[in-house]
Amino acid sequence: MSLLDVLFGRKKATANVAKERLQIILAHERATHDTNVFNDSPSWLPLLQQELVEVIAKYIKIDKEDLKVNLEKRDNLELLEINVTLPDSIEQ
Amino acid sequence: MAKIIVITSGKGGVGKTTTSASFATGLALRGHKTVVIDFDIGLRNLDLILGCERRVVYDFVNVVQGEATLHQALIKDKNCDNLFILAASQTKDKEALTQEGVGLVIEDLSKDFDYIVCDSPAGIERGAFLALYFADEAIVVTNPEVSSVRDSDRILGLLASKSKRAVEGQDKINARLLITRYNPARVESGEMLSITDIEDILRIPVVGVIPESTDVLQASNTGTPAISLKGTDVSEAYCDVVSRFLGENKPLRFTQADKKGIFKRIFGGAR
């Protein structure tokens, strides 16, 4: 703030900062919220999950619920997340 | 068949109930038989804003649970023959409303009324969900402020995915934006998000802009809907909202800052 701004009590223009921040966070949220129309998870996701379980189950004893597959969109990149919970002791 | 309109926002304190009261009154004053329903179970306030708090005998939950008839629970507005109010319960918990029960009440009301205005509670829980579920149209109330805009975006997501129209694959809900507590002077000095900024972000058409005003508190103090404070900017702005909603073409008003004269600059304005 310049001395003149202080003298005349002018405030900083922050509306453009607000707009930018909103555009960034909403682009992200629209892509991830389950309640949002923009997040139509692809139909092959459950099948991928099932086949992955089958493959891993050949080697390690896991249940269907132990493997989670999630597809996220972030700006212009897509992130495929696969999360496997292994049993306490891995037996052959 | 009645048209069902939800007044919603996500965030609390942005003016949903103020808007519901004024919008429903406006529709009724234009000759349309209108009922306004308070969906904020446990935190009823629409009765207070409309000045009928001492006439609530039976409420929405009583009707849903079959303890009272609609006829017993509907409160006729004291100033406007075409307006009826269905108050929220103050004692029951918010789980008391069921989707089926609310559906039956709305179906019943549809036979007698032209418009059903649903005043949504804040948040995205059961009451807010049920308020928007049956809607044909939505008015999303937003303040020019980051948290309000973000929550409005979330509600727009819900309208597009969880409402009856969305679930049943019908035409989507016609959602429009109402900006409240707008301060043109602060927008011009770059301190506040502008109408265009909010439109750009939320990407829905604007149905109205209500200027920030001390008159809104005066209205709620006295249990008068703001639209009935004749001659005030807020009243005029709400009248315009009703006109636009009914399909009239009205340019936005009260969106430019007053040009202050030198004396006002020095001594300050009266408002």
Tens digit of each residue's pLDDT (9 = 90 or more) over A19-44: 999 999 998 888 776 544 334 556 67
Q: Which residues of chain B neighbour A28 with C-beta distances below 8 Å?
A: none
Do the chains contact at B197 and A19, CB–CB below 8 Å? yes
B175: confidence class by pLDDT, cuts 50, 70, 90: very high
Picking from A32, A37, A40, A41 by the largest number of B CB atoms within 10 A of its own CB, the best residue to mutate is A37
Distance to chain B for A49, nearest Cα, Å: 25
Q: Which residues of chain A neighbour B189 with C-beta distances below 8 Å?
A: 10-11, 13
Query: Per-residue pLDDT for B83 more than 90?
Result: yes
Kindly report the pTM of this predicted structure: 0.80
Query: Per-residue pLDDT for B64 more than 70?
Result: yes
Query: Per-residue pLDDT for B104 more than 50?
Result: yes
Nearest-Cα residue of chain A relative to residue B149:
A22
Query: At B73, phi and psi to the nearest 5?
Result: -90, -25
**Average of pLDDT values for A11-17?**
87
Distance to chain B for A91, nearest Cα, Å: 44
Kindly tell me the burial class for residue A91, based on how many C-beta atoms sit within 10 Å of its own C-beta (0-12, 13-18, 19 or more): exposed
Q: Does B150 touch chain A (CB under 8 A)?
A: yes
User: Which tops the pLDDT comparison, A89 or B16?
Assistant: B16
Q: Output the pLDDT for position A79.
A: 82
Query: Per-residue pLDDT for B88 more than 70?
Result: yes
**Average of pLDDT values for A3-27?**
81
Q: Output the pLDDT for position B40.
A: 95
Q: Output the pLDDT for position B264.
A: 61
Nearest 10 degrees: Cα torsion B198, B202, B206, B209: -40
User: Which tops the pLDDT comparison, A76 or B27?
Assistant: B27
Q: How far is CA B34 from CA B11, B17, B214, in A?
A: 25, 15, 27
Query: Per-residue pLDDT for B271 more than 50?
Result: no
Q: Does B43 touch chain A (CB under 8 A)?
A: no
What are the DSSP E strand ranges found in B77-235? 83-86, 115-119, 137-142, 174-182, 206-211
Check residue B256 and give left, alpha or beta (phi > 0: left; psi -120 to 50: alpha).
beta
Q: How far apart are CA B137 and CA B260, in angstroms?
A: 39
Q: How far apart are CA B126 and CA B42, in angstroms?
A: 12
Q: Output the pLDDT for position A86.
A: 86
Picking from A8, A10, A21, A26 by the largest number of B CB atoms within 10 A of its own CB, the best residue to mutate is A26
Query: Per-residue pLDDT for A5 more than 70?
Result: no
Q: Which residues of chain A neighbour B153 with C-beta distances below 8 Å?
A: 26, 29-30
